[in-house]
Chain A
Amino acid sequence: SQQGEEDPQALSIQEGENATMNCSYKTSINNLQWYRQNSGRGLVHLILIRSNEREKHSGRLRVTLDTSKKSSSLLITASRAADTASYFCATDAGTGNQFYFGTGTSLTVIP
């Protein structure tokens, strides 16, 4: 399976701290995307990083991609209680818009 895996599966931090979650995948990709999901709702797109990019920023989010290690990380700085959610990475299958999702990291930010 090409499905990615996030690490850790669960993370609990205090408000104001930084949160880092990692994603590993198995085959070559064109891009990798990170999504957030609040309690069984739809997925919210956070960042797309292409295979020729190494780092990308969006507000308090920083994503890195290491294609040689087939891994990516998502850093959320100065976390807030509203960041409590599950975070997923998704990699493309190389054909069309078929994406493989990881198992997710459940982040809890304690006020």
Chain B
Amino acid sequence: KAGVTQTPRYLIKTRGQQVTLSCSPISGHRSVSWYQQTPGQGLQFLFEYFSETQRNKGNFPGRFSGRQFSNSRSEMNVSTLELGDSALYLCASSSGISDTQYFGPGTRLTVL
């Protein structure tokens, strides 16, 4: 099976802009989770989608949003970018609840 894919791999934006990141889960996986990784805060949970519904949400401002499509592909959007949003954004897919999560390679976002 193909692994989790994320696009784009690298992104450079300026403050105030918005960005959309995409994640394609492993075939058959219906759960997609998003994480933000920064040197200062480590890996932090953003949200999880299951069957097109947001099932869990982390402690991030409303500028961070996401959605999931009927084919389980997921997108996350960050509006009004801030310098502190510079991070590695990781997506993970899973087949069940509290099950193994398989991570994609990540999207490196740099906000200037």
Contacts and interface: CB of A to CB of B under 8 A. Distances in A.
Given A40-B108, A88-B43, A103-B42, A97 B99 contact: yes
B103 A45 contact: yes
A42 B101 contact: no
B15 interface: no
A78 to B, nearest CB: 25
A53 B55 CA distance: 27
A52 interface: no
A101 B101 CA distance: 12
A29 to B, nearest CB: 9
Task: Among B33, B98, B103, find the residue whose CB has the most chain A CB atoms closer than 10 A.
Answer: B98
Given A96-B31, A96-B97, A98-B45, A40 B56 contact: no
B100 A33 contact: yes
A98 B100 contact: no
Contacts of B75: none
Contacts of B33: 97-99
